[in-house]
Structure 1
Amino acid sequence: MKRLITILGPTASGKTPLAASLARRVGGEILSADSRQVYRRMDIGTGKDLSDYAGVPYHLIDICEPGTKYNLFQYQQDFFDAYQQIESRGAVPILCGGTGLYIEAVLKGYKLSPVPQNQPLRDRLEGKSLAELTRMLEELKAKNGSNMHNKTDVDSCQRAIRAIEIETYNLENPMPCRELPPIDSLIIGVNIDRELRREKITHRLKARLEEGMVDEVRGLLDSGIPADDLIYYGLEYKFVTEYIVGRLSYDEMFRQLEIAIHQFAKRQMTWFRGMERRGFTINWIDATLPMEEKVEKILALLNM
């Protein structure tokens, strides 16, 4: 059996119930790969649906306060800590979610650094050409022995300056133990027909609004979180906040949010197809199959 099972798919495809059902069969614990479910008190809008876990241990949900800006570097660290704890207990780690960047980062072992902005350095680099910045970056990478960056770092001056900033920081603050290893995983994709996905997204949006999503967002605003901080989180929190503060009518909010979620699901699938082009093998399973049949298919793949 591989060390990790990953279940991914677009929003409304039924990933979490499948992960929970599988976890009950194999003695698993679930690691969430959702960039917004990390926030406490953001429950309905992020679709935590904690009842789906039904006693299965889960991790990386409700780990930071709303209003803060959680990032990929923090997720990678938090994931690896939780992953090691699960393994130490002899349980099966199951990564489940729809944030493709988070999933790919932990599977590939992205080499990231919590590099702060260096304004004096940026001021010195301002006005330099892309060719000049590229040469500086290459020299820094040679000094660091770095393979962290690729050609996309230097497709603009802004990206090149950020890459130089990172390499300069790493040169001055070496972190030999920072690298996290890639993790071998059986990857399961939940494949849902586009029209069925659209239907489920609309139905779920209506249900969440009926469950009190507007009140949830209003409560966050009333607790002192600035509207712009909630808008930053996008989707439900962006459009519902704009409705609450009077920028949108209820009907405009619903219509624009519905479109945005459909577009988000399409982007998720684009990312997952990109993962396949980048060398990941995703075993796609039909979302409409009975739960027991989906679980049996995964178990068969595990035993191959």
Structure 2
Amino acid sequence: MAALTYNMVTVLGATASGKTAVAAHLAKSIGGEIISADSRQVYKGMDIGTGKDLSDYFIDGTLVPYHLIDIAEAGYQYNVFEYQRDFLTVFDKLQKWGKFPVLCGGTGLYIEAILKGYKLIQVPVNEIRRNELQGMSLEELTLILSGYKELHNTSDIENKKRAVRAIEIEEYYQKHPEIDLSFPEINSLIVGVKFDRDSRRRRITQRLKDRLQNGMIEEVEKLLTSGLSPKSLTYYGLEYKYLTMYVTGDISYDEMFQSLNTAIHQFSKRQMTWFRKMEREGFHIHWLDGYMPLPEKIGQIKRWMQS
């Protein structure tokens, strides 16, 4: 008998790992729905460049429901605080509907904002208090902070800057007791999909070529003609940065392709670094070989859910 009952499955992986298809097929087979954990797929009209792969949600002619995709206008700067708020709204609805949530994405910050189990609040900077605290030693700051909460880990007192901010946050909570800091109990099975490094690199490059041939350039042109400024579009990085530079004539096609291909490889490496950091911090990620046939992946995840 399982010692713990999972009430969510998290499917994560670097870009081009095939995690969306895994999550969608899993959700369909267990009566679940997808909650996206991707910081750029929230934007409307940014489909190919963000890799929404919406076709993956259609299985045997039916749509696997998904959430937190296409919820913000392109040009807006959506953030992790808003993401956590929106996730909690969806999670609550799925529980009431009796639908099993499958969290899927590659944005480590968003995933951790859910799995760490504490609510994020946008606490404003208190310049006066900050100036008072700046002159204190790290030991003095640690003592002040320990008066507000138990220091279960050392991340808040790694340095003076973090300690000052942590105190600032705790004192804000003290002055605003009406703030709801409760967080639902989430016990998620965490599944990662990965390929070996060489395979991941080949998949990334081929995926980029496919997207360029299937409308990604036209997508950027459409966003620019819709009124979005080159500066605003460049903010989203990667595809939107380099394709904007190409479309506006700042770089050639070859320069765009080489620079973008390199940038996506670097991004993928950072994603894997983040997931390894999660493991060091105590998150148990069950890794699936990307080459495993899809039905076998789903079967393995179900066995993990029962173990």
Q: Same fold (TM over 0.5)?
A: yes
Q: Corresponding residue for 1:210? A: 213
CA contact (8 A) 1:189 1:283 kept: yes
**126, 132, 137: which one aligns with 1:131:** 137
Amino acid of the structure 1 residue aligned with 2:144 = E
Match of 2:54 in 1: 50
Q: Give the secondary-structure state (helix, strand or coil) at the position aligned to 1:187.
A: strand
Provide closer, same or farther for how the CA distance between residues 157 and 279 of structure 1 changes in structure 2, counting only shifts above 3 A.
Answer: closer
Report the alpha carbon displacement of residue 147 of structure 1 after superposing the two structures with TM.
Answer: 5.2
State the alpha-carbon separation in 2 of the partners of residues 197 and 130 from structure 1: 48
Report the equivalent of 1:242. Answer: 245
Alpha-carbon shift at residue 176 of structure 1 (Å): 4.5
Instruction: Give the 5 Å matches for 1:133-172.
Output: 135=140, 138-139=143-144, 142=147, 145-146=148-149, 151-155=154-158, 158-172=161-175
**Cα gap change, 1:174/1:200 in structure 2, threshold over 3 Å: closer, same or farther?**
same
Gaps of 5+ in 1: none
Of 84-93 and 53-62, the range deviating more from structure 2: 84-93
Partner of 1:33: 37
Runs of 4+ in 1 over 6 A off after TM superposition: none
- Partner residue, 2:78: 70
Return the TM-score normalized by structure 1: 0.89
Q: What secondary structure sits across from 2:137 in the alignment?
A: helix
Call closer, same or farther: CA 1:159–1:278 in 2, change over 3 Å.
Answer: closer
**Which residue pairs with 1:291 in the alignment?**
294
**Candidates 7, 20, 23, aligned match of 1:3:** 7
For residues 58-109 of structure 1, the C-alpha deviation after alignment (integer angstroms, 9 at most, x for no partner) is 0010111111111111111111111111111111111111111211220111
Task: Look up the equivalent residue of 2:40 and give its one-letter code.
Answer: R
Tell me by how many angstroms 1:49 deviates: 1.1
- In structure 2, relative to structure 1, the CA distance for the partners of 1:32 and 1:112 (3 Å cut) is same
- Structure 1 match to 2:189: 186
How many Å apart are 1:245 and its aligned residue? Answer: 2.9
Identity rate of aligned residues, in percent? 54
Give the C-alpha shift of residue 174 in structure 1.
Answer: 2.7
Say how many residue pairs are matched.
Answer: 299
Looking at structure 2, the residues matched to 293 and 235 of structure 1 have their Cα atoms a distance apart, in angstroms, of: 33
For 1:139, the aligned partner's letter is I
Structure 1, 191-200 or 156-165: larger mean CA deviation? 156-165
Deviation at 1:17, TM superposition (A): 0.7
- Residues 243-252 or 278-287, more deviating: 243-252
* TM-score normalized by the length of structure 2: 0.88
Q: Tell me the equivalent position of 1:264.
A: 267
Q: Does 1:14 align with 2:18?
A: yes
Match of 1:228 in 2: 231
What's the RMSD between the two structures over aligned residues? 2.3
Unaligned runs of 5+ in 2: none
**In the superposition, relative to structure 1, how do residues 89 and 43 fare at CA in structure 2: closer, same or farther (>3 Å)?**
same
Contact between 2:30 and 2:100, CA under 8 Å: does it hold in 1?
Answer: yes
